[in-house]
Amino acid sequence: MNKKQKFNKGFILLSKNERIAVITLLSIITILLGFSIFRPAIKLTKEERRAFHNLDSLIAIQEEAAKKATKATLHPSETQESNTIYKKAKDKKASYKTPEKTTEKKPSDSKPFMPTPEKKAIPILDINTADSVALTALPQIAEVMGSRIHRYRERLGGFVSLEQLFEIRGMDSARFEVIKPYITLESKEIRKINVNQDEFKALLRHPYLEYEQVKAIVNHRERKGWIKGWKELEGLVGTVNPRLEKYVSY
């Protein structure tokens, strides 16, 4: 008996379904081999490419299903053990309670004892002698306001009344009432202007005289001679601050 007869005899011993399965498998393998060999030369339609793709997918699905069935048949305990481990882990997670966070009170940082600095006593100042730096020691008198008081006093020639502070820009009744207990006018000496001898600029610098008034004074003394007193000066310059009388000499 030759090899061909032996093969045929073994093939005939297979059942009808087994022979059909073998023939089908061999046909598929032959078709796939032919397709892979002659694929560059064959131009398939869109429907034919889709059919071959579905066939490949079907074979892959069948192979994956056969692997899973074989694994479940050979190792049935592995699947059961895996399910048991998963169930235990799930029960353990459900029974586990997150511990409540306890907020511990931190002890406050101990700071070294620092004595409260004593407030400096507010000095009593003579506004006719205190400079701009000294004036800033008064409450609500900052550097700017201290400089304004000092400059105004220099133009004026000195204060003759505390109320003259209201003539300074920025001074109001609220601020005046705060500083009033700490200011005095002990020095009564003031610097006067001479309406008959001082130059035009010196007279114009005084805050109680305006440009037209100074011009009238200079023109009068050049044309008619010196001014002899307050009445003549008042008639010459018109309405002025009544305190001007204390700042002029003749």
Closest-CA residue to 126 (of 61, 62, 179)? 179
For residue 116, what pLDDT is reported?
66
pLDDT band at 170 (very low <50, low <70, confident <90, very high): very high
Q: pLDDT digit string (tens) for 87-119?
A: 665 665 555 555 555 555 555 555 666 666 666
Architecture of domain 120-191: Orthogonal Bundle (1.10)
pLDDT in tens, 2-61: 544 544 555 556 677 877 888 888 888 888 877 667 655 455 566 666 665 666 666 666
CA torsion 35-38-42-47 (nearest 10°) is 10
Residue 88 to residues 46, 72, 80, 104, 178: CA-CA distances in angstroms?
Answer: 52, 22, 12, 35, 83
Q: How confident is the model at residue 74 (pLDDT cuts 50, 70, 90)?
A: very low
Every domain of the chain and the residues it spans: 120-191, 192-250
Query: Rounded to an integer, what is the distance from CA 199 to the centroid of its chain?
Result: 59
pLDDT in tens, 150-166: 999 999 999 999 999 99
Apex 180 CA angle, 175 and 183, nearest 5: 120
pLDDT at 149 over 90: yes
pLDDT in tens, 191-243: 999 999 999 999 999 999 999 999 999 999 999 999 999 999 999 999 999 99
Segment (H or E) for 177: helix 173-179
- DSSP reduced 3-state for 249: strand
Of 192, 176, 203, 195, the closest CA to residue 233 belongs to 195
